């Protein structure tokens, strides 16, 4: 027979009976209760010793109650009750209601039965939670949070930001998340490390209070390399290392400095109960005045001459202001290790009637945890905020002496507009009266002007838009027409009757020749070469050396001139007078204009290859090759000279080829030769003979 098991069961029975017989004085009863904090709409509770192993043979009963008409949601952030005997000795039970009339919700829970995502919902506004523990070896116990059913986004105090992947989300934190376990890293406005507890970080940031809980709006950002430590709202964040992400909170924005640090609040509006003053051994006087109590101001702080709870520092904001927080520090001087460790806050609208700031929904004065050294800044937020003109800080504990520097946080107070109540008009019954007899003569009727002035204000904006738009469109059309007309006239002026198109001019041809394949040696153009003795016989027609791409007209007796509309390119560096060659008395002078080439013939002179092997060398001066091919059977005739037509029958071809050959007399000529280009006669318009 197992006597040990019987003894343990007897102990459990005695404990249960004692718990049932005892009338609970509060929300919990028994020796197995752990951390418990119940607010008006939410709360948090744990088993004993959580997160360590809960003790053997314990019992605890929690009674949760909200406003009538509402229901309760239960979530478990952690649940680990050792299952030794199928939930017989160690278990958790949840009941709807209190006392004997309560009904069980679900069954006994043990082992790992409840997950963080599981939710238990009540049917009334009252819930009883019973925890029993027997003999066991391990098991952390549990942590649970609750809220009313309208808080569907409820989370527990153990939720971390790393669990949620959305870049922004909203959650509801229950009351009591300022637990003795868990930690955070970082501070505002930089942000918190993603491994920090969400609700504890919300308390540290001042967006929710531990006493009330509340909603938080979280924003995820890229992490940083280092997270600094800071103390705020009785929570101390720890130093954190590099993380991939961090999170911050969206707030109302009413956390600005109210003027202590930047001097907006003048010295005359800062007063104190007493002032510390003394003379050192060197005879120097030290006065720690109340105007010294400005945050981050170099030098000493305000210090009281007495160390008791009747000392205070008062700030006049000059008008009603919404105050949401306070930042304090000590003396900030290493030689004077003075600072305040806790304080109360009083506030007033007129400076006569004062109110002490208290814990929400309680009658206890709120004690704010202040500094733990002389230099570090500590922030405390007022949730809910206060609206006041005068704020008074009353130290309740300090180190050595009362010394403090302060800054108030808040924003301008805008009173809500209350609509004026208008009384309905009182209807007074008219007295009965009979018409009095009147004279037959009646006054003329009063004629009123009933003409209604038309309202044209609605048409003015439309006209102001349409009129400028129409003017701009018409102006644009006129400008386009003028530009088109000008461009057309300019094109007609630039291209005359005898001008080549822009794309057909020699300049374009020069540029394109470099892209054409090189000609073979046998078809290479060779200009007509004349000796100096032959040049003397060509007078009085003077010839001008030109480039191989252009044919220069020869004018007898004078230098050929080019008209403005000539198809020949003038010599570089020369300017020609615009002379009319048609009015010249000399009939033998060639015109300065070259007639257009026939459409059926080639547009440029065709190079002709001439074999000079049959002519005796040195006897007469003959050109090697002419640059122009005759258009007919005879060569062109020059003024004062004749061209002798030579022909030769090649052994490989029976066709006859015509060459332009200048007439010369036999004799010895100079070796020097001058190159001339012979133009094609304008009168000959017949097509070239077929070879």
Structural domain harbouring 659: 524-691
Q: What is the pLDDT of residue 495?
A: 52
Whether 543 and 683 map to the same domain: the answer is: yes
Residues 525-540: what's their mean pLDDT? 49
Of the residues 412, 427, 451, the one at which a domain ends: 412
Q: How confident is the model at residue 623 (pLDDT cuts 50, 70, 90)?
A: very low
- Using the predicted structure, report yes or no on whether residue 503 has a pLDDT greater than 70: no
Tokens describing residue 575: 């300017």
137 with 98, same domain: the answer is: yes
Tokens (6 digits) for 539: 């007078």
Is the same domain home to 142 and 171? no
Residue 506 counted as domain residue: no
Please give the Cα distance from 682 to 637 (Å, whole number): 11
Cβ atoms < 10 Å from Cβ of 185: 23
Q: Does residue 8 form part of some domain?
A: no
Question: Please, which pLDDT band fits residue 491 given cuts at 50, 70 and 90?
Answer: low
Residue 446 pLDDT greater than 90, yes or no: no
Residues 198 and 134 occupy one common structural domain? no
Residues 347 and 380 in one domain: yes
User: What is the C-alpha to C-alpha distance for residues 327 and 379, in angstroms, rounded to an integer?
Assistant: 4
Q: Residue 79 above 60 pLDDT?
A: yes
Q: How far apart are CA 235 and CA 690, in angstroms?
A: 112
Higher-confidence residue: 466 or 651?
A: 466
Could you give the percent of the chain with pLDDT greater than 90? 48
Q: What end-to-end distance do the CA atoms of the chain give, in Å?
A: 140
Q: Tell me how many helices (H) and strands (E) the chain has.
A: 5, 30
Total domains present in the chain: 4
Dihedral angle, C-alpha 201, 207, 213, 218, nearest 10 ° = -60
Which carries the bigger pLDDT value, residue 162 or residue 465? 162
Same structural domain, 40 and 131: yes
Report CA 654 to chain centroid distance, whole Å: 88
**39 and 135 assigned to the same domain:** yes
Cis peptide before 177 (omega within 30 of 0): no
pLDDT at 640: 42
Residue 400 burial (CB count, 10 A): 14
Element (H, E) at 400: none
Mean predicted confidence (pLDDT) in 561-572: 46
CA–CA distance from 630 to each of 493, 528, 545, 609, 615 (Å)? 34, 14, 20, 13, 21
Give domain status of residue 4, yes or no. no
| Residue 153 falls inside a structural domain | no
Residue 452 belongs to a domain: no
CA distance 30 to 15: 8
185-220: pLDDT as tens digits? 999 989 999 999 999 999 999 999 999 999 999 999
Contacts of 11 (CB under 8 A, 6+ apart): 57
Of 49, 65, 43, 32, the closest CA to residue 131 belongs to 32
61, containing H or E segment? strand 58-65
Instruction: Let me know whether 99 and 205 are in one domain.
Output: no
219 and 266 housed in the same domain: no
Residue with tokens 């059913």: 149
176 located within any domain: yes
* Rounded distance between C-alpha atoms, residue 10 and residue 16, angstroms: 10
Percent of the chain clearing pLDDT 70 (strictly above): 60
What is the rounded CA–CA span in Å between residue 404 and residue 295? 9
Would you place residue 464 in the very low, low, confident or very high pLDDT band (cuts 50, 70, 90)? confident
Q: Are residues 673 and 545 in the same domain?
A: yes
Q: Which residues contact 35 (CB under 8 A, 6 or more apart)?
A: 44, 45, 46, 50, 176, 179, 180
Last residue of a domain, one of 148, 174, 194: 148
Of 196, 231, 249, which one is at a domain's C-terminal end? 249
Which of 121-135, 288-302, 649-663 is predicted least confidently?
Answer: 649-663
Q: What is the mean pLDDT of the chain?
A: 74
Scan for tokens 């615009």, then name that residue: 578
Q: Which pLDDT belongs to residue 638?
A: 39
Query: What pLDDT is attached to residue 303?
Result: 97
Report CA Rg, the chain: 57
pLDDT at residue 434 is higher than 70:
no
Residues 96 and 33 in one domain: yes
- Angle in degrees, CA 648, 649, 652, rounded to 5: 140
What's the token pair of residue 572?
């570089």
pLDDT at 415: 84
Is 492 a member of any domain? no
Question: How confident is the model over 630-648, as pLDDT tens digits?
Answer: 444 444 443 343 343 333 3
* Mean pLDDT computed over 248-260: 91
Q: What is the pLDDT at residue 142?
A: 95
Least confident range of 280-284, 405-409, 453-457, 460-464: 453-457
**CATH code where residue 210 lies:** 2.170.130.20
Asked whether residue 487 is domain-assigned, the answer is no
| 373 and 272 together in one domain | yes
């Amino acid at each position: 027979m197992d006597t040990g098991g019987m003894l343990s069961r007897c102990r459990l029975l005695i404990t249960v009976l004692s718990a049932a017989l005892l009338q609970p004085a509060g929300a919990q009863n028994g020796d197995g209760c752990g951390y418990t904090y119940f607010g008006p709409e939410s709360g948090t509770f744990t088993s004993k010793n959580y997160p360590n192993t809960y003790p053997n043979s314990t019992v605890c009963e929690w009674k949760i109650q909200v406003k009538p008409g509402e229901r309760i949601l239960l979530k478990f952030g952690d649940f680990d009750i050792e299952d030794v005997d199928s939930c017989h000795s160690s278990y958790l039970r949840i009941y709807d209601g209190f006392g004997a009339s309560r009904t069980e919700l679900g069954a006994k829970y043990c082992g790992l039965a409840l997950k963080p995502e599981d939710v238990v919902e009540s049917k009334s506004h009252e819930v009883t939670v019973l925890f029993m523990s027997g003999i066991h070896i391990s098991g952390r116990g549990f942590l649970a949070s609750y809220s009313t059913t309208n808080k569907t986004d409820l989370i527990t105090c153990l939720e971390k930001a790393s669990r949620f992947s959305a870049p922004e989300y909203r959650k509801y934190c229950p009351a009591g998340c300022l637990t003795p376990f868990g930690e955070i890293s970082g501070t505002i406005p930089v942000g918190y490390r993603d491994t920090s507890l969400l609700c504890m970080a919300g308390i540290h940031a001042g967006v929710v209070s531990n006493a009330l809980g509340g909603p938080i709006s979280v924003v995820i950002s890229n992490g940083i390399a280092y997270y600094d430590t800071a103390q705020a709202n009785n929570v101390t964040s720890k130093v954190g290392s590099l993380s991939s992400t961090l999170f911050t909170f969206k707030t109302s924005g009413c956390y600005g400095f109210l003027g202590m640090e930047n001097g907006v609040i003048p010295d005359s509006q800062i007063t104190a109960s007493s002032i510390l003053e003394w003379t050192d051994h060197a005879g120097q006087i030290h006065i720690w005045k109340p105007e010294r109590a400005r945050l981050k101001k170099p030098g000493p702080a305000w210090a009281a001459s007495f160390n008791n709870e009747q000392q205070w520092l008062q700030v006049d904001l000059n008008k009603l202001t919404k105050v949401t927080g306070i930042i304090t520090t000590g003396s900030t001087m290493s030689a004077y290790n003075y600072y305040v460790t806790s304080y109360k806050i009083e506030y007033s609208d007129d400076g006569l009637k004062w109110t002490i700031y208290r814990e929400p929904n309680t009658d206890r004065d709120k004690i704010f945890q202040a500094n733990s050294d002389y230099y570090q800044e500590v922030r405390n937020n007022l949730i809910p905020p206060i609206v006041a003109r005068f704020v008074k800080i009353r130290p309740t504990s300090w180190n050595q002496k009362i010394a403090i520097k302060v800054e108030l946080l808040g924003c301008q107070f805008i009173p809500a507009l209350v609509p004026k109540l208008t009384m309905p008009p009182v209807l007074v019954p008219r007295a009965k009266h009979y018409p009095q007899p009147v004279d037959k003569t009646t006054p003329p009727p009063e004629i009123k002007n009933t003409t209604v002035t038309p309202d044209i204000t609605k048409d003015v904006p439309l006209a102001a838009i349409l009129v400028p738009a129409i003017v701009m469109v018409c102006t644009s059309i006129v400008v386009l027409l003028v530009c088109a007309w000008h461009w057309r006239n300019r094109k007609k002026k630039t291209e005359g009757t005898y001008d080549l198109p822009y794309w057909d001019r020699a300049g374009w041809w020069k540029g394109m020749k470099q892209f054409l394949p090189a000609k073979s040696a046998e078809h290479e153009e060779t200009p007509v070469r004349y000796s100096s003795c032959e040049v003397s016989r060509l007078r009085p027609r003077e010839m001008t050396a030109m480039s191989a791409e252009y044919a220069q007209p020869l004018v007898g007796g004078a230098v050929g001139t080019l008209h403005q509309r000539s198809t020949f390119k003038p010599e570089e560096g020369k300017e020609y007078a615009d002379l009319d060659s048609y009015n010249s008395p000399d009939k033998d002078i060639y015109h300065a204009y070259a007639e257009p080439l026939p459409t059926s013939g080639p547009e440029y002179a065709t190079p002709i290859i001439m074999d000079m092997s049959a002519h005796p060398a040195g006897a007469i001066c003959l050109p090697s090759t002419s640059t122009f091919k005759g258009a007919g059977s005879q060569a062109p005739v020059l003024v004062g000279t004749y061209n002798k037509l030579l022909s030769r029958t090649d052994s490989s071809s029976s066709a006859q080829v015509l060459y332009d050959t200048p007439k010369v007399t036999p004799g010895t000529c100079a070796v020097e030769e001058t190159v001339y280009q012979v133009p094609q006669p304008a009168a000959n318009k017949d097509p070239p003979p077929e070879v």
